[in-house]
Amino acid sequence: MPTGAQLDIGVNVASASVTSRKRSAAAIRQLALLGGEPVGTVNQPTYPYFTKRALRRVTEILETGRVLGFSRDVPEVREAEEALSRHHGGRHVLATGSGHSALQMALAGLDVAAGDEVITTPYSWGASTSCILHQNAIPVFADVNSQTGLIDPKRIEARITRRTRAILPVHMYGHPADMTAIMRLAKRHGIAVVEDCSQAHGATWKGVGVGNFGDAAGFSCMGGKQLGTTEAGYFVTPDKDVYWRACLDCQHSARSMEEGFPDDLRPYVDSLIYTYRVTTIEAALLAEQLKKLPREIDARRRNVAMVRSLLKDSQFLAWPRHSTHGDASYYMWSMRFRSRAAGIHRDTFLKAVQAEGLGMTAYVTSLIPTWARLHWQTYKGPRTVWHDNLRRAQIDYRKQNYPQATDLMNHGLQMMFRFYKPAARVMQRVADIIYKVEANIDALRRYERQESNQSRRK
């Protein structure tokens, strides 16, 4: 039986726009995928949004030509790093050119290097693994909890060896990993923790912001992130020595002229470095964007709460069961499709909602350990810097299984969530689309059967 909310679909869809009243009720009810009228595009706002003041500052920087952000002695870099440090309860902050470089330098600052093992998640964006590879270290993957998509502390423990130097959890989609269990584990085994907070600016675990738990943490501030600039990142650490060692590896020697640079590192100051600096433009944008981050995270949370409440009668979407200790900041809105209950594959559902105008995707379509560039045994492509290390470690990613991450990959649905302002009408449209597709599930089952018969005949 259709639920009350599903019976309301015609009304909701018809109210989506004035012109829709003219459409025939049948065309509106029929799925766009099957030739009916789409509900209408769910537009993401222009993103990132920069204030007038931020734009003015960028123009001023360009007019004066003071674009180089060599060190904290440059006012914009100092301002950004000090503001970020306050945001992170006084931790040391190094602004970098990207999230990847922030993570790699967090590892460098912790002295993670050739042959060291770093345990991380197979279900992520590749940079949470490539930062390990670029330090000549060995990524070791621990499966996730299939409900949350976050690395599972129990499975981390099973992967710890005497070569393990660090754990690198990823706060995926803006949901904080279980930092209580991860920090306890790391302490017990005497290993470091580097949080990948690239998707989780503003998220908290037990009321404490992510990035404030580990020995270091890296953030991406590329234009799509909650703290979005154009391309930038930063890392934080409670340990000044970690900060200085990272400076030595990645920034111009100007950092060695900052107050407090340790004398024992001075003989090693040179330009054999990665150039992972920010420009003054990025630094100014970091400082300006940070001012509005709490407000924007709050709006993201309210919008997710609203759309979830509108979808409380959804039959085929299930929300991940996250710990109540975590407060997410919603880089993406993530859910699972209950394909067995629906009787169709997740991708068929996806096609139908996309045709109605909703830009949902399956964000992770393959697990990192399955990628060809990690399979040194069979690899035929251009040379990589990490194959020799992987060969020396005799690690074989082809033999490993990650059933929870695989399950999530096959059933997860995600939506980029850039709704940083109240967006009640848009959330309503999202719900209208989902309910319309769910109300047409029989037609979708037939469609899927036809499609698979056709492809079998080919």
Per CB under 6 A, the list member of 123, 125, 337, 386 interacting with ligand PLP is 125
Residue identified by tokens 């869809």 is 13
- For residues 271 and 248, give the distance between their C-alpha atoms in angstroms, rounded to a whole number: 9
Q: And the tokens for 147?
A: 């409900």
Comparison of 74 and 170: residue with beta carbon closer to ligand PLP: 170
Q: Does 170 bind ligand PLP (CB under 6 A)?
A: yes
- Interface with ligand PLP, residue 120, by CB under 6 A: no
8 A C-beta contact, residue 138 and residue 117: yes
Of 104, 128, 135, 414, which lies in the binding site for ligand PLP, with binding defined by CB under 6 A?
128
Quote the strand ranges of 268-419, DSSP E. 278-279, 317-318, 326-327, 332-337, 360-361, 412-416
Instruction: Name which of 170 and 409 has its Cβ closer to ligand PLP.
Output: 170
Residue 99 interacts with ligand PLP (CB under 6 A): yes or no = yes
Of 127, 304, 355, 374, the residue at the interface with ligand PLP (CB under 6 A) is: 127
Beta carbon of residue 242, minimum distance to ligand PLP (angstroms, whole number): 19
Of the two residues 98 and 204, which places its CB atom closer to ligand PLP in the complex?
A: 98
| Closer to ligand PLP by Cβ: residue 10 or 224 | 224
The verdict on whether omega for the bond into residue 422 sits within 30 degrees of 0, i.e. cis, is no
Contact (Cβ atoms closer than 8 angstroms) between residue 413 and residue 336: yes
- Nearer CB in complex with ligand PLP: 131/441: 131
Q: Where are the alpha helices (DSSP H) in 387-440?
A: 387-393, 403-411, 424-439
* CB-count exposure of residue 341 (10 Å: 0-12, 13-18, 19+): exposed
Given the structure tokens 């931020």, which residue do they identify? 54
Q: Which of 12, 146, 212, 220 binds ligand PLP (CB under 6 A)?
A: 220
Only one of the segments 92-100, 144-152, 379-387, 448-456 lies at the binding site for ligand PLP (rule: CB under 6 A); that segment is 92-100
Element (H, E) at 141: strand 138-141
- Residue pair 216/169 in contact (Cβ under 8 Å)? The answer is no
For the segment 185-204, give every residue that binds ligand PLP (CB under 6 A): 196, 198-199
Quick one: tokens of 257? 């002229």
- The radius of gyration of the chain from alpha carbons, rounded to an integer in Å, stands at 24
**Least distance CB 429 / ligand PLP (angstroms):** 27
Told to check if 233 binds ligand PLP by CB under 6 A, we report yes
- CA–CA distance from 133 to each of 14, 117, 206, 219, 400 (Å)? 53, 10, 32, 18, 18
Cβ contact 411:348 at 8 Å: no
Residue 20 or 370 having the CB closest to ligand PLP: 370
Count of residues engaged in binding ligand PLP, rule: CB under 6 A: 14
**Smallest separation (angstroms) from ligand PLP to the CB of 95:** 12
Closest CA to 306 of 333, 337, 327: 333
142 binds ligand PLP (CB under 6 A): no
CB of 200 to ligand PLP, least distance (A): 8
Structure-token pair, residue 275: 């150039």
Q: How far is the CB of 159 from ligand PLP (least distance, A)?
A: 19
Cβ nearer to ligand PLP, comparing 197 with 434: 197
- Minimal distance in Å, beta carbon 261 to ligand PLP? 26
Q: How far is the CB of 184 from ligand PLP (least distance, A)?
A: 23
Residue type present at position 361: T
Sites of contact with ligand PLP (CB under 6 A): 98-100, 124-125, 127-128, 170, 196, 198-199, 220, 222, 233
